[in-house]
Amino acid sequence: ASLQDALENIDVGGPSMLRSAAKNHEAVLPVVDPTDYPVVLELLRKGGLTPAVRREFAAKVFTHTSDYDAAVAGYLTPREDGLPARLGVAMERVQALRYGENPTQRAGLYVTEEPRGMRDLTQRQGKELSFNNLLDVDAGMWAVAWWSNRPACAIIKHTTPCGIAVAPSAVEAFRSARATDPVSAFGSVVAFNTVVDKATADAMADLFMEVVVAPSFHAEALAAFAAKKQLRVVELPVSKGAGALDYKRVRGGFLVQDQFRFDPSEVGWKVATRRQPTETEWNDLRFAWTAVAPVKSNAILLARKEAAIGIGAGQMSRVDSVFLAVHKARQQGHDPAGSVLASDAFFPFADGVEHAAGAGITAIIQPGGSIRDAEVVEAADRHGMAMVMTGKRQFRH
């Protein structure tokens, strides 16, 4: 729409009438949200329009008109480099939480109008979701979102996967994801990008989980989960994001960026080594590049047969993440020899490649872009490894 069309469609009378009604809420009940209609009808039946209720509805009006004004202001504000000079974020609290990351911190769940977001979350059973549960639910559904046509499962601890896999069915994906690191899977959030059936629910029966989250559950699966009364079972739509902005709190303000969207395109990918990956390696490299995206940086992920076998997350040096991924694989009985490795960012030195080669890893996928790329590729060539450079970094701070 043109600026003139937008100006013509700015509502002046509607907000004015709503604000007038809200100001006089002692005599008028202003209702601004259609989802409140059933509540109002019930209050009218019971004679429950107390001063406190009227005040609550009035406050909701002023919040709504404020959000509308913020949207208009955002549209009219000049943009520099694609970002507005001023930002107003409208959110509604939909759940008061017992506490935040720690018991001394107050917390609540506030939602925006983003489609397929937390506003659309439905809890089917179990204890109240905690602050940390919700963080892990979001991380889990984000981790599995990028496989549109394959059942995927991610097992999340502290917002990063400790297991992730794709397979022909949800139950096979779960078994492979759990096999990554069965010890860390204890007390996890398990996320799926597909419907959970009874076979999958039965396969999870012996694992203690905080939450199971998926877009939907078969009735038989819900019946199976009912035996675990404390288990939180949550439905949340799969979403790859709505192209919205992402906010990071800093002291006295926010850092704002575009939401990260995984790019499955192989445009710009190149094989940097003398040896080309085999067909089997290519398949696992593509999986590993997708699976490493939700892992906290510095992130290294080892994969075989479209499942992670070792994950090194959140280390301060990349070589330590390689060491940890190899260690975790061996700890759980996986042989790294013959597996592939994905790195979320470039190798600043050749030491990470040397360590991977020493473990028998045969192929690597990474963004490239280091001033020492030539040394890194030379190390891979010396060990007969294949290396793919994507040209795209995937940091997750």
Higher pLDDT, 116 or 371: 371
For residue 241, what pLDDT is reported? 76
The set of long-range contacts for 204-212, using a CB threshold of 8 Å and a minimum separation of 24, is: 204/174, 207/178, 210/133, 210/136, 211/126, 211/129, 211/133, 211/136, 211/137
Q: What share of the chain is helix, strand, coil (3-state, %, to 5)?
A: 35, 20, 45
Gap between the terminal Cα atoms of the chain: 37
Candidates 300, 396, 397, 390; CA nearest to 343 is 300
Pairing of strands 188-192, 232-235: unpaired
For residue 369, what pLDDT is reported? 95
Fold equal for 3-84 and 92-235: no
Over the chain, what is the mean pLDDT?
93
For residue 73, what pLDDT is reported? 81
3-state SS, residue 74: helix
**pLDDT per position as a tens digit, 350-367:** 999 999 999 999 999 999
**pLDDT per position as a tens digit, 281-316:** 999 999 999 999 999 999 999 999 999 999 999 999
The architecture that CATH gives domain 3-84 is: 3-Layer(aba) Sandwich (3.40)
Q: Is the pLDDT reported for residue 80 higher than 70?
A: no
**pLDDT per position as a tens digit, 154-195:** 999 999 999 999 999 999 999 999 999 999 999 999 999 999
For residue 221, what pLDDT is reported? 97
Both tokens of residue 309? Answer: 């076998």
Catalytic (active site) residue 218: no
Higher pLDDT, 145 or 78: 145
Homologous superfamily of 270-389 in CATH? AICAR transformylase, duplication domain (3.40.140.20)
* CA–CA distance, 384 with 96 (Å, rounded to integer): 56
Q: Is the pLDDT reported for residue 78 higher than 80?
A: no
77 in Cβ contact with 85 (< 8 Å): yes
CATH class of the domain at 92-235: alpha beta
Both tokens of residue 106? Answer: 């107050």
Both tokens of residue 187? Answer: 């007390």
The strand ranges marked E within 305-375 are 307-312, 340-343, 363-366
- Catalytic residue among 23, 240, 248, 270, which? 23
- Catalytic residue among 158, 198, 218, 383, which? 158
Catalytic (active site) residue 158: yes
Candidates 207, 177, 209; CA nearest to 311 is 177
Which residue has 């390696």 as its token pair? 281
For residue 140, what pLDDT is reported? 97
Name 109's bridge partners.
Answer: 95
* CA–CA distance, 382 with 53 (Å, rounded to integer): 74
**pLDDT per position as a tens digit, 205-241:** 999 999 999 999 999 999 999 999 999 999 999 988 7
pTM above 0.75, yes or no: yes
Name 364's bridge partners.
Answer: 341, 387
For residue 253, what pLDDT is reported? 94
For residue 84, what pLDDT is reported? 79
Domain locations along the chain? 3-84, 92-235, 270-389
For residue 112, what pLDDT is reported? 85
Candidates 211, 165, 205, 160; CA nearest to 188 is 211
